[in-house]
A and B are shown apart, each in its own frame.
Chain A
Amino acid sequence: MNKSVSELEKDPIPGSTPPAGTRRMLLAAFAIVLALLVSFLFARYSAYRTVQAKFYGQPLVPAKEAFDFRLVDQNGKAFQLSQLRGKVVLFAFGFTHCPNVCPTTLSDLAKVYRALPARDRARVQVLFVSVDPRRDKPETMKNYVPYFDDSFIGLTGTEDQIAQAAKPYGAYYEIVHNAGESPDGYSVNHSAFTYLISPDVKWKLLYNFDQLGDATKVVRDIEQVLNGA
C-alpha cells in the first residue's frame, strides 16, 4: 500500500496526483489493515503460546486432521490409521536396517509406553512405519517392531502407499548408497520425528529425536491428550 502511494506521487502525468483528502483516506485504510493484521497475528501467536506452554512436544495449532494413511500391517493385513480412533497413536518412520536412529526411537517409545499407568496403555498404540518397502516386508516388520514392545505394530506397504503416508506429515526419506556396499546394503536418510495423533484422529504434537528421550514429559503429554486436552 505504501508503495502504491509513492507510485502515485511519482506519476509523471501532470494533474493526476490525488488530492490531499484521498491520500489521507488511503493512509487511514492502510493503518486499519495493518492494525487488523497485527492483531490477527498476535491472536494466533498467543493461541500458539498457550498450547505450547501446555505441552512438551511441538504442538500443531490448530491441530490438523490426521491424514488417514492406508498401509499393510505386520500380519499382511490392510491397515488404516482411522482404525485406531479412540486411542492416542504415536508413530515414527524408519527402516529395519537402521543401526542407530531407529532402535533408539523404538526403545524410547517402549520406555514411554511402559511408563504409562497400566489403565492407559490400552488406549495408546505405537506404530513404526517403514520407508524401505524393498527390504521391509510385513514379516520383517513382525520380527522387528514387537521386539521393542509386544504391543507395537510395524507397518509397510507399496512404495506409493508409503509416499502417500509420509507426505502429509512432512516426513522425508531418501535412499543413500555408500561406496563399496552390496546392492542391498544401502542406507536410508529419513525424518526422525514421532507424531502424536489424538483419539479424534487429529495430528496434535510432534517430537524430534532428542525430545523423545525424556519419557516422563512425553507421558505427561499423552495423559493430557487422553484427558481431552
Chain B
Amino acid sequence: MITRIILSLLYICCVSPIARADSLSIKIENAWVQAVPPVADTTAAYMKITNLGPGPLRLVGASSSVATRVEPMITTRQERNGQEILGMEAVPDLEIAPGATLELKPGRDHLMIMGLTSHPVEGERVKLTVRFAPGDQRLELEVPVLREEPK
C-alpha cells in the first residue's frame, strides 16, 4: 500500500504532465481578454501559442475564475450576396504542429469565454488556465483585459 502511494506520488511529481506544466515546450505570448460591457455574458481570449515540443500539440480548452466555460472556437467565413458572413463553430481542439504558432485573434480562432460569473473590467487581469493534449498539460496565465488588440 505504502509503495503504491509512493509510486503514485512519484508519478504525480515526475511523470504527470500537470506537474511538468510543460512551460518548456509551450510558449504563450501576447495573451489578452476582450473587454466587454457588463451586460455581456461572453467574451474571448486571444494569444499566440508556439509549440516548441517534438510532437503535435492540441489546445483543448481552458478554465477561468470569471466564467463557467472556456472553449476553443474557429471563425467560419462564407460568402453570400457578395458579402462575407462570419460565424463561429465550436471545435474539440486546435492543433499546433511542432515548431508552429497558433495565433488566436479577433475574427479568427479564439478561446470563447462563456457564462461570465464576474465581469472582467478593463485594465484588470483575469486568471486563465489553458489546457493542452496529449496528457493534461496546463499553463496558468494572468491575462490583461483590454479594449482592443495590443499593437
Q: Is the CB of B37 within 8 A of A147?
A: yes
Q: In chain A between 183 and 203, which residues have their CB closer than 8 angstroms to a CB of chain B?
A: 185, 187, 189-193
Closest to B82 in A: A170
Residues of A within 8 A of B100 (CB): none
- Complex Cα–Cα for A190 and B44 (A): 18
Q: In chain B between 57 and 114, which residues have their CB closer than 8 angstroms to a CB of chain A?
A: 73, 75-76, 80-90, 106-107, 110, 112-114
Q: Is the CB of B73 within 8 A of A100?
A: yes
- Complex Cα–Cα for A140 and B38 (A): 10
Residues of B within 8 A of A144 (CB): 37, 39-40
Interface string of A97-117 (1 = CB under 8 A from B): 111110110011011000000
Interface string of B115-151 (1 = CB under 8 A from A): 0000000000000000000000000000000011100
Main secondary structure of the interface of A (DSSP, over half): mixed
Q: Is the CB of B106 within 8 A of A97?
A: no
Question: Counting CB contacts under 8 A, is A161 at the interface?
Answer: no
Residues of B within 8 A of A172 (CB): 80-81, 83, 85
Question: Counting CB contacts under 8 A, is B18 at the interface?
Answer: no
Residues of B within 8 A of A178 (CB): 89-90
- Complex Cα–Cα for A203 and B43 (A): 31
> A104 touches which one: B37, B89, B107, B113 (CB < 8 A)?
B107
Q: Is the CB of A191 within 8 A of B85?
A: yes
- Complex Cα–Cα for A148 and B36 (A): 8
**Least distance between B113 CB and chain A CB atoms (Å):** 7
Residues of A within 8 A of B89 (CB): 178
Question: Counting CB contacts under 8 A, is A150 at the interface?
Answer: no
Residues of A within 8 A of B42 (CB): 97-99
Main secondary structure of the interface of B (DSSP, over half): strand
Q: How large is the interface on B (under 10, 10 to 19, 20 to 34, 35 or more residues)?
A: 20 to 34
Residues of B within 8 A of A206 (CB): 83
- Complex Cα–Cα for A223 and B148 (A): 24
Interface string of A109-148 (1 = CB under 8 A from B): 0110000000000000000000000000000100110011
**Least distance between B119 CB and chain A CB atoms (Å):** 11
Interface string of B39-50 (1 = CB under 8 A from A): 111111000000
| A residues whose Cβ falls under 8 Å from a Cβ of B | 96-101, 103-104, 107-108, 110-111, 140, 143-144, 147-148, 170-173, 176, 178-179, 185, 187, 189-193, 206, 208-210
Closest to B75 in A: A100
Question: Counting CB contacts under 8 A, is B51 at the interface?
Answer: no
| B residues whose Cβ falls under 8 Å from a Cβ of A | 34-44, 73, 75-76, 80-90, 106-107, 110, 112-114, 147-149
Q: Is the CB of B37 within 8 A of A193?
A: no
Residues of A within 8 A of B90 (CB): 178-179
Given contacts A140-B39, A209-B107, A100 and B87 within 8 Å (CB-CB): no
**Least distance between A63 CB and chain B CB atoms (Å):** 16
**Least distance between A216 CB and chain B CB atoms (Å):** 13
> A100 touches which one: B35, B41, B106, B147 (CB < 8 A)?
B106
Residues of A within 8 A of B80 (CB): 172, 191
- Complex Cα–Cα for A101 and B43 (A): 10
Residues of B within 8 A of A103 (CB): 34-36, 40, 43-44, 106
Q: Is the CB of B75 within 8 A of A101?
A: yes
Residues of B within 8 A of A107 (CB): 34, 147-148
**Least distance between A147 CB and chain B CB atoms (Å):** 4
Given contacts A100-B112, A104-B106, A176 and B43 within 8 Å (CB-CB): no
